[in-house]
Amino acid sequence: MGLLLVIDAEHGLSAAEIADVELVGDRVAALLAGRAAAGDRERAARAATVRRILSADPAERRAAVGDLDRLGLAVGPHLSVTVVEVRGHPPGAGVEPALWSVTAGVGDDTAVAVHGGRAEIVRRDTAAPTPADLRARAARQRDAVLRVLGGPADVVVGTGGVVGSPSGLYESGRQASVAVRAGHRLPHLGGVGVWDELGEYAVLLCVPDDVPPGHAGARALGRLAAHDTGSRLRETLRVFLDEAGSVPRAARALHLHRTSLHYRLRRIREITGLDLDDGRDRLLLHMQLRLEETTGSGRPVTPAR
């Protein structure tokens, strides 16, 4: 609970004085214990509310709205959910205290539920945060967890979109879970995913990992890989598609002469059997490149934007 220090430089405390010190110590300990128990009850109440407001059961969510209001978190239109996830750290080795540390000193505008290696955070902001604000906050939370863990760990923070009422928190929580998946799978995010910044990845990361192999896009990129030395053609294709099929912009991004780029594009057409002037074929290839990136089966790259 705490530490009570009595400085007796002359070693002259009588038995009665020592008894007085012990009595005061007992009283202080009782006060601290009561305060800690009240804090634990408050924290447990907030955690239970978070779990219910993010439940997949609509009845649970409706019942939790009143609890959220009593906690003062339902006031104001700027609500959001953040998920912090720890992987690659020994279970029980300080993970739970590290996850609780993300809300140290934040006041009454936050409620947290911690279970396993995951923390779910409901937060109310007085003003609408921008995606940049959310990313900066998530980065600070990630750093706080890493400092407490004090060792190597895979810590990712994902933030869902800002919603206007408690009824939208479930969707914000789902978005935060997708943002966490993005943080784990896309190295260029640096362990921080913000739903509103994910773009096309927000949809692709919801595609199941067990997509049956052998569809047209996978076959086309497989043929390209078999003829590609050092992934040169794959990278050319990725940049060309990221640049919306613009030869001038793709040539600048690749530092290529347009003649060289046209040669590579012709080779890609020959190998894949797909027409890069056909929007459907381009969509098929672009989608497959992104899917491979998000599932870890392709080379992770930084989008050229």
Judge whether 234 lies within some domain. yes
Domain finish residue from 171, 204, 237: 204
State how far Cα 212 lies from the chain centre: 27
Do 87 and 197 lie in one domain? The reply is yes
Do 221 and 200 lie in one domain? The reply is no
Q: What is the pLDDT of residues 51-65, one digit of tens each?
A: 999 999 999 998 888
Do 159 and 227 lie in one domain? The reply is no
Output 105 or 252, whichever has higher pLDDT. 252
Q: What is the CATH number for 168?
A: 3.30.70.270
Do 260 and 165 lie in one domain? The reply is no
In whole angstroms, what is the distance from residue 290 CA to residue 238 CA? 9
pLDDT for the residue numbered 257: 94
Do 180 and 288 lie in one domain? The reply is no
Question: Do residues 129 and 91 touch, judged by C-beta distance below 8 A?
Answer: no
Do 152 and 233 lie in one domain? The reply is no
- Structural domain tally of the chain? 2
Do 221 and 196 lie in one domain? The reply is no
Do 235 and 102 lie in one domain? The reply is no
Q: What is the pLDDT of residues 269-283, one digit of tens each?
A: 999 999 999 999 999
Judge whether 109 lies within some domain. yes
Domain finish residue from 158, 179, 204: 204
Judge whether 13 lies within some domain. no
In the chain, the percentage of residues whose pLDDT exceeds 70 is: 87
Among 1-5, 198-202, 203-207, which is the least confidently predicted range?
1-5
pLDDT for the residue numbered 163: 92
pLDDT for the residue numbered 176: 96
Do 193 and 290 lie in one domain? The reply is no
Own/partner pairs, 176-183, CB within 8 angstroms, 24+ separation: 176/80, 176/81, 176/82, 176/83, 176/120, 177/83, 178/202, 178/205, 178/206, 179/83, 180/83, 180/85, 180/156, 181/205, 182/158, 182/294, 183/156, 183/157, 183/158
Q: What is the pLDDT of residues 223-255, one digit of tens each?
A: 998 888 788 999 999 999 999 999 999 999 999
Q: Average per-residue pLDDT in the chain? A: 84
Judge whether 126 lies within some domain. yes
Residue 280 lies in domain = 216-295
Judge whether 168 lies within some domain. yes
- Checking if the pLDDT of 16 tops 80, the result is yes
Q: Where does the pLDDT of residue 305 fall: very low under 50, low under 70, confident under 90, or very high at 90 and above? A: very low
Judge whether 150 lies within some domain. yes
Do 133 and 254 lie in one domain? The reply is no
Domain finish residue from 204, 230, 246: 204
Q: What is the CATH number for 258?
A: 1.10.10.2840
Q: What is the reported pTM? A: 0.71
Judge whether 37 lies within some domain. no
Do 243 and 186 lie in one domain? The reply is no
